[in-house]
Amino acid sequence: MLSEKALREFKRIWEEERGEIISDEFAMEQAVSLLTSLDVIYRPLKKAWLDEPTNDIPKL
């Protein structure tokens, strides 16, 4: 669930980018869908992973 302020901001961005005015219900559905997708695909790197050398990157 988004706050009223976040929902208004999402609707403002949607209108700027797509030129459409959308309902609160549609905006909430789209925003939650976007946030869910980002939650699935975005995973922060662990510090230990950054410290491990890899052989995947060729040296120049």
Between CA 49 and CA 17 the distance in angstroms is 37
More confident position, 4 or 59: 4
pLDDT digits (tens, 9 = 90+) for 39-55: 888 877 777 777 777 66
Torsion sign, CA atoms 20, 25, 28, 29: negative
> Residue 14 falls within a domain, yes or no?
yes
The predicted pLDDT at position 43 comes to 78
Residue 33 domain boundaries: 4-51
> Residue 33 falls within a domain, yes or no?
yes
pTM of the model: 0.68
The predicted pLDDT at position 1 comes to 83
* 22 CA to centre of own chain: 19
> Residue 59 falls within a domain, yes or no?
no
> Residue 30 falls within a domain, yes or no?
yes
> Residue 11 falls within a domain, yes or no?
yes
Into how many domains does the chain fold? 1
> Residue 18 falls within a domain, yes or no?
yes
